[in-house]
Structure 1
Amino acid sequence: MLKVIDITELQPGMFVTQVTKQAGVYRVTSGGIIQSDQEIAKLVDKGILQIEIDLNRSLQNQLSDSALPLDQVNEQGLNYQQQLDHALKVYEQIKTVHSQLMTRIRTAKVADIASVNAVSQQLMDKVFECDDAINIVTLISENDQYFLEHSLNCAILIIVFARHMGFDETLMRQLGAGALLMDIGMIKLPLLLTEKPECFNKAETKKVQNHVNIALKMISSIDTISEVSREVVRLHHERLDGSGYPQGLMAEDISIYGRMAAIVDVYDSLTSVRPYRSAYKPAEALHYMSEQLQGFDNELIEQFILCIGAFPIGSLVKLASNKLAIVMRLNKKRPLQPVVMAFYDLDSRQHDTVTQLDLAVVDDVIVGSVDPADFELNLKQFLHQTLLAH
């Protein structure tokens, strides 16, 4: 639903489609979600008087639940701290099981691939128990086995995404299983190639891209792998503009499952440290992906942002009070006002007492995402040593 409003009515979280009245000549070249009051102030400075917003695509209209305090228990009687501890243990247990599965596949016992459905079911159960906690676990895992953890993270993300989209549990489990299988073809490639610390050259890139066909061949004779799971494996590197691989398919040939898989695959890859580059900040990764309009499904990108938040769980942010904080729980009613853990004072350049802040209640706001490296902060280590013990 489209609505024209005065610039004075514009709020963070609203989706702007176009400028309808202005005193200057500033043009909005593409629609998007207003992220902050500072962004609104810039529009005012440009002479914008009225704008058109899309209520259906605005964060405030689509989300209605308020944020839960970190000390509130879930249906299993666990508060956030306990959920986080439990989610991390479950993640490591599933990682071990999945690692053993990959080892057996590497030794040609391909039939064991069928057990991936059980792993996906475990992940789905954990998402239903404590989705915020399992989300942050994907960011604080040790990242010592990239392809293994990447497949686990993608499985979690696509299950969370599918839940947001209203898919049933069977479909969620099938999507999760597909994500777990996306990169199994990598284990048939030489370790010197898959563990190379630099970017691949053209010949190496071609070999690595063949992992999709290898994976499809590996699962071709296994009846218990669903067609949805196979689609995820087959399509997760395809792009709507035909620039993907292995087939270079166009938009009409890429299902919604393949489009969702592409989004979670790239998001987790961008937010992970790689030997040849540092990790993107979560909000930075979302911005980058939203700019790739020809490759990804723009409407699904918007839904993914609605799903994981404008400032995703685990984001390091700067507050107006000049403190650093980590986003710990989303506020589904006011997505730009999550629950955060403040821990560092930028004025004194010292660590501060870890404090829970519900930004929908306290007089403070997020002014932007920041890079942990700028403060010589190892975010994974900090979360393990401080927040997990808090």
Structure 2
Amino acid sequence: MLKKIPVDQLRLGMHLQAFCGAWLDHPFWRTKFVLEDAKDIALVQESNIKEVWIDVSKGIDVESTDQSTVETLETAEEIPQPTPVVQEKVSFSDEVARASKIVAKGKEAVVSMFQEARMGKAIEAEAAAPLVEEISNSVMRNPGALISLARLKTADDYTFMHSVAVCALMIALARQLGLDEQQTREAGMAGLLHDLGKAMMPLEVLNKPGKLTDEEFALIKTHPEEGYKLLLEGKGVTETIKDVCLHHHEKVDGTGYPKGLNGDTMSLFAKMGAVCDVYDAITSNRPYKAGWDPAESIKRMAEWKGHFDPTVFQAFVKSLGIYPIGSLVRLESGKLGVVIEQGEQSLLKPKVKVFFSTKSQAYLRPEIIDLARSPEKIAGREDAAKWGIKDVDQYWAGDKV
């Protein structure tokens, strides 16, 4: 039996079934667990959550003196679900703060899932569904905000943040390809869990700052199969999720791993995973190299013949832009700027925050130029190091860097 109780009635030993409120309003990434730590009760009571559902068949009941305020249900299916809110498009600046919270909580979720996998606990895909929902909603409101923030990683948290980033990229790509909402959510979950096998890799190899030896690289290349094994034992894991985990390192020319699939034998979702995984990897700072500029990364990926499915890659570029947020570009006037928002009509006319003059080789007062409404045009991509610029990301991400 389920009971809805005020948070001040929570006691150790109760089984939390659901929070009455938004996923971002409570302090945990999962919603169903037994309260075993007094600190967890304090965290709930300090949050914006006022009521919770408990399952008295899996944990202790409320005290008899508190029963008068309790609402009861027989099954979890009866818990009223919040009415889906239509996600209105918003600007990057309006979405970035919320996206930042989702990214931070998403990283916690992936860290926890990896730890549980290392301890031999079965993966519960359903537990991560609210996270995928939040990421999906954020991408719908403004695709650039969360995707760009998830690219800002340190070498230490790369593996976890990479999972959040690929989830968001998969969702944006699924929408661009015209997949339905269920397929889009499934693509997102596949992105979130695609690298689960890295939980089974030795940390000294996974986080090695230098070049891997042949033996170490051979070991890392087993992570898709290790992840697949973990997902086979998981709960609520679909065939699509397992497929992306196992095949996101395949290539359409058949030279990928672990099965040497090609464009005819790879599924659509595996082709999507291959593109999203590579883009986030090469644009992120890694233990052994600095990330490439987003626009430079798109250009290089387009040149890798036989790696990606052309139709999927084309849709990917449309979902991000030829000059993704964070790209450093030079305008025909000689000014340098960073892309802060995609143009609504043209991939070649984003909004750019200019801050440097190549003619005077001096910083300018930052100014936003909407290229859709300006005679200015992008002359090309630029390398920040060429001009001695070391803080490009602060011009689009501000204090989120």
TM-score in terms of structure 1 length: 0.75
Letter in 2 for 1:370: E
- Partner residue, 2:171: 159
Using the TM superposition, give the Cα deviation of residue 384 of structure 1 relative to its aligned residue in structure 2, in angstroms: 4.3
Q: Distance in 2 between the 1:142 and 1:344 partners? A: 26
Q: Distance in 2 between the 1:112 and 1:98 partners? A: 12
- Partner residue, 2:392: 379
Seen in structure 2, the aligned counterparts of structure 1 residues 254 and 360 have a Cα distance that, compared at 3 Å, is same
Seen in structure 2, the aligned counterparts of structure 1 residues 331 and 76 have a Cα distance that, compared at 3 Å, is closer
Alignment of 1:339-358 (within 5 A): 339-358=351-370
The answer to whether the aligner puts 1:242 opposite 2:254 as a matched pair is yes
How big is each residue's C-alpha offset from its partner over 1:239-296, in whole Å with a ceiling of 9 and x where there is no partner?
1121111111222210111011101111111111223333222222222222222221
Letter in 2 for 1:250: N
Using the TM superposition, give the Cα deviation of residue 117 of structure 1 relative to its aligned residue in structure 2, in angstroms: 2.9
- Partner residue, 1:284: 296
Seen in structure 2, the aligned counterparts of structure 1 residues 84 and 90 have a Cα distance that, compared at 3 Å, is same
Q: Distance in 2 between the 1:90 and 1:194 partners? A: 25
- Partner residue, 2:286: 274
Query: Partner of 1:81: helix, strand, or coil?
Result: helix
Query: Partner of 2:190: helix, strand, or coil?
Result: helix
Q: Is the 8 A contact 1:98 1:119 kept in 2?
A: no
2:134 counterpart (113, 116, 122): 122
Letter in 2 for 1:379: V
Seen in structure 2, the aligned counterparts of structure 1 residues 321 and 152 have a Cα distance that, compared at 3 Å, is same
Q: Distance in 2 between the 1:355 and 1:127 partners? A: 26
1:100 counterpart (112, 119, 126): 112
Computed over aligned residues only, the root mean square deviation of the Cα atoms, in angstroms, reads 2.2
Q: Distance in 2 between the 1:78 and 1:294 partners? A: 37
**Considering only CA atoms, is the larger Rg found in Structure 1 or Structure 2?**
2
Q: Is the 8 A contact 1:140 1:384 kept in 2?
A: no
1:305 counterpart (306, 317, 322): 317
Q: Distance in 2 between the 1:342 and 1:173 partners? A: 36
Alignment of 1:1-390 (within 5 A): 79-142=91-154, 144-374=156-386, 375-385=388-398
Q: Is the 8 A contact 2:196 2:227 kept in 1?
A: yes
> 1 or 2 for the larger relative contact order (CA 8 Å, sep ≥6)?
1
- Partner residue, 1:22: none
Using the TM superposition, give the Cα deviation of residue 170 of structure 1 relative to its aligned residue in structure 2, in angstroms: 0.9
Q: Is the 8 A contact 1:117 1:174 kept in 2?
A: no
Using the TM superposition, give the Cα deviation of residue 337 of structure 1 relative to its aligned residue in structure 2, in angstroms: 0.9
Q: Is the 8 A contact 1:139 1:314 kept in 2?
A: no
How big is each residue's C-alpha offset from its partner over 1:196-215, in whole Å with a ceiling of 9 and x where there is no partner?
11122221111101111110
Query: Partner of 1:343: helix, strand, or coil?
Result: strand
Using the TM superposition, give the Cα deviation of residue 346 of structure 1 relative to its aligned residue in structure 2, in angstroms: 2.4
How big is each residue's C-alpha offset from its partner over 1:220-240, in whole Å with a ceiling of 9 and x where there is no partner?
022411111111111100111
Q: Distance in 2 between the 1:202 and 1:192 partners? A: 15
Using the TM superposition, give the Cα deviation of residue 324 of structure 1 relative to its aligned residue in structure 2, in angstroms: 1.3
Query: Partner of 1:134: helix, strand, or coil?
Result: helix
Q: Distance in 2 between the 1:221 and 1:275 partners? A: 31
Name the count of aligned residue pairs.
315
Seen in structure 2, the aligned counterparts of structure 1 residues 197 and 311 have a Cα distance that, compared at 3 Å, is same
Using the TM superposition, give the Cα deviation of residue 142 of structure 1 relative to its aligned residue in structure 2, in angstroms: 4.6
Using the TM superposition, give the Cα deviation of residue 118 of structure 1 relative to its aligned residue in structure 2, in angstroms: 3.0
Extract unaligned runs of 5+ from structure 1: 1-73
Extract unaligned runs of 5+ from structure 2: 1-85
Q: Is the 8 A contact 2:89 2:140 kept in 1?
A: no
Seen in structure 2, the aligned counterparts of structure 1 residues 196 and 143 have a Cα distance that, compared at 3 Å, is closer
Seen in structure 2, the aligned counterparts of structure 1 residues 174 and 223 have a Cα distance that, compared at 3 Å, is same
Q: Is the 8 A contact 2:201 2:220 kept in 1?
A: yes
Q: Distance in 1 between the 2:376 and 2:90 partners? A: 28
Query: Partner of 1:253: helix, strand, or coil?
Result: coil
How big is each residue's C-alpha offset from its partner over 1:291-341, in whole Å with a ceiling of 9 and x where there is no partner?
222221122212211221111122111111221111111114221111111
Q: Distance in 1 between the 2:360 and 2:148 partners? A: 28
Using the TM superposition, give the Cα deviation of residue 114 of structure 1 relative to its aligned residue in structure 2, in angstroms: 4.3
Seen in structure 2, the aligned counterparts of structure 1 residues 275 and 216 have a Cα distance that, compared at 3 Å, is same
Q: Distance in 2 between the 1:75 and 1:115 partners? A: 23
Q: Distance in 1 between the 2:155 and 2:354 partners? A: 25
Seen in structure 2, the aligned counterparts of structure 1 residues 132 and 383 have a Cα distance that, compared at 3 Å, is closer
Using the TM superposition, give the Cα deviation of residue 111 of structure 1 relative to its aligned residue in structure 2, in angstroms: 3.5
- Partner residue, 1:13: none
